[in-house]
Amino acid sequence: MRRTLAFAPLLLALLTLPVSAQAPRLDSWKIVGPGGGGTMIAPTISPHDSRLVVEHCDMTGGYITHDNGESWRMFNLRIGFNGFAFDPSNKDVIYAANSALWRSEDRGKSWSMLFPDPQKNTVEHQVGDHSDIYLSTDDAAYPGAGEFTAIAVDPHDSKRLFVAFTKSRSTSAVYGSTDRGASWKELAAIPGSALLLTLDKGDLIAVAGKAAYRIGSDGKAAALGQLQSNISVAAAAHAGDAARLYATTVDGKVFLSENAGGKWSEVTPDLGLGTVQFHAISASDQHGEVAYVGFRSGEVGETRSNLYNGIAKTTDGGKSWKIVYKESTVPAKNLEGTWIEARAGVEHTESIFSDAPWSLGVAPTDPNVVYATDLFRTYRSLDGGKQWKEVNSRHVAGDAWTTRGLDVTTSYGVQFDPFDSKHIYVPTTDIGLFQSRDGGSSWQSSTVGVPERWRNTTYWLAFDPKVKGLVWGAFSGVHDLPRPKMWRGRSTERYHGGVGVSTDGGLHWTVSNQGMPQTAVTHILMDPDSPVGNRVLYATGFGKGVFKSSDNGKTWALKNDGITEAHPFAWRLTQAKEGTLYLVIARESERRDAPASQDGALYRSTDKAEHWTRMNMPAGVSGPTTVSVDPRDSKRLYLTAWGRVGPIVDTDGGVYVSTNGGRSWKALFTDSQHVYDLTIDASNPDVLYITGFDEAAYRSTDRGAHWTQINGYNFKWGHRVTPDANDPSMIYINTYGGGVWHGPVDGGKPQQDDLTPIPVAH
């Protein structure tokens, strides 16, 4: 069925949204998109105000709401999170854990590094394909490479802080501070990665591996009652000073200890759903008899529609359990959903929403307030599980949605309809293609007709500027290319995807890949000089090479003559004004000791892809990502590159320029070693933009001679900057997991940053 949007009602609906609903930020940026779309983790609720919640995602972002999830603000602390803790005595103080321990003194507006001490020559190092962070420091107490995994604050003396630091999954070191983090002392080492720290009668309790450990004031760790299987998730509640522990194990069972881990009793719910696996669990700290647990694969029949995921609740300390949320191939009846469930219903892809809870969080002071997260959503109940509401997206009208500020999407570009610049497209991972018909205010899913095995990711679109509504799409069942993790355990020969075509602006798609085998198509390009009706198109098949069509995309032929790789990781194409094609082959490995055969490559074709010639790359460069051509001078080429892994910093990445068509290269910018793309402003080619995986985006107004970091933008992993076709003073920034950012070309006036920065090694 054709879907249309009423433009005036859409605009009215958006204008009448309360200010709190429009994803408020503290700077000049806003996040645009449908909201949600990725894995959200560890909702943690303030003991002072249950409307205040923090959580994080699996793509490095943190999120905070002050209004029960009606709106969220993203914040970023250089790398991903492992958890949060509120100061039980001070409503303004929140702690966050990653490679460092951070503290906010203003309810999450700003953050300062606490441990290691940033004043003791603490330096950030960005290393590896994902630009992972490790810290070097002269703070002798800091244990080195690894991560903080758990935090506890003494409820009777908030100067007493405890953290667990895991260097490997085999051992955790537990540290304590008696002066609010000014100094630290190692207390004990325990086996396994610490999942939970809590207090019991003045002693510290740590949960790791198969047991809980009591760590006394003397620093000695004593193992308490032990389970037969490793604990997967643990939660604590208190009656006075005494701790009660709930836990799920890796074999899907539920246990309770009423004496802080000294003795465990199995309380696995019998839900009448056959063999059920339990994972996420949380309890109300001041109402320890109330807990919620997530379950997977409850079965009441042999068909897929009888396979259930959901949440069960106990109000009597695990003696009995009641299902409060249950869904299968249709959403739960007591859920107020969003585009996620609606899209699944239209496209018959229930797997996009039917997932067991990844995390649960219960308010410490109100057992009726509970949040759940999974691979696509955050949803919450304010009435003890009777009714649930998804809080990542807000309905606008029809099938159009907008974000509440909780965005966890990876996208590859912002593309504009050549007939209507207010008609915007965002090719996206996991949730496919989205489009907006109102300049980015609201968004609708646009993958109807795309084969289910291709629908995960849309990498790029090619528009016919002479035929309204005609667009070709690059589709793939494999996301996150060209990250090497995507083929380490899976051959590119097994990738599914192809080219689709739409004649109604992307509302409906049909397959258009005759002659092209199944492949992850990562880019598609139309030759603007080819005849209307018989357009020449080029597409990259990752692991296959370059395909060409001369009949509007109906049939395709492989064009790899001159390409020497047996299974070329064809990634991006660029066409110069006179027709020369440039091809980027992604590298197979980022390792410094990788053989040259695994390096990426550049190729050029001057005869419409019939033959390819390998080009020189700058010395040392192995990871090319894009080639951009100056529209005024086709011999001026810009190359972006990913660095090689180094022991202290990565090297040979950045931005390079050639003024002689690629015969020789010169480095333009190497402070960022993980540059994903370079954008030339078509209205003024002297203006360049770059972004990548180093928590920044940059702008140059003199063809790359000088660069200025763009204020405000600080998401860890960036993909591409796109000038706003509707406002030359604005840009979009696509990210790898943080949605689409929209803001001023220079980021606007400097505002209070999320964090107090530390030096970065270059």
Q: Select from 578, 577, 582, 565 the least CA-distant residue to 616.
A: 582
Q: Select from 263, 234, 270, 268 the least CA-distant residue to 252.
A: 268
Q: Which CATH class is domain 415-615?
A: mainly beta
Q: What distance in Å separates the CA atoms of residue 523 and residue 481, rounded to the nearest whole number? A: 11
What confidence score (pLDDT) does residue 23 get? 60
Neighbours of 532 (CB within 10 A): 11
What confidence score (pLDDT) does residue 302 get? 55
User: Is-contact 256 267, C-beta < 8 A?
Assistant: yes
User: If you average pLDDT over every residue of the chain, what do you get?
Assistant: 94
What confidence score (pLDDT) does residue 18 get? 42
Neighbours of 350 (CB within 10 A): 18
Q: Strand locations in 363-492, DSSP E? A: 370-373, 378-381, 388-390, 393-397, 400-403, 415-417, 420-427, 433-436, 444-445, 457-463, 471-476
Q: Select from 334, 339, 439 the least CA-distant residue to 395.
A: 339
What confidence score (pLDDT) does residue 301 get? 54
Strand order in the sheet with 147-153: 147-153, 161-168, 171-177, 185-191
**DSSP string for residues in 454-481:** GTTEEEEEEE-TTSTT-EEEEEES--ST
Spell out the residues 6+ positions from residue 590 whose beta carbon is closer than 8 angstroms to its own: 128, 129, 484, 622, 623, 642, 644, 645
* Model confidence, pTM: 0.95
Q: Select from 246, 97, 241 the least CA-distant residue to 162.
A: 97
What confidence score (pLDDT) does residue 388 get? 99
User: In this structure, which amino acid lies at residue 159?
Assistant: K
Task: Map out the domains of the chain as residue ranges.
Answer: 415-615
The full length of the chain comes to: 762
In this prediction, the residues of the chain whose per-residue pLDDT falls under 50 are 1-21
What confidence score (pLDDT) does residue 654 get? 99
Q: What distance in Å separates the CA atoms of residue 762 and residue 750, rounded to the nearest whole number? A: 24
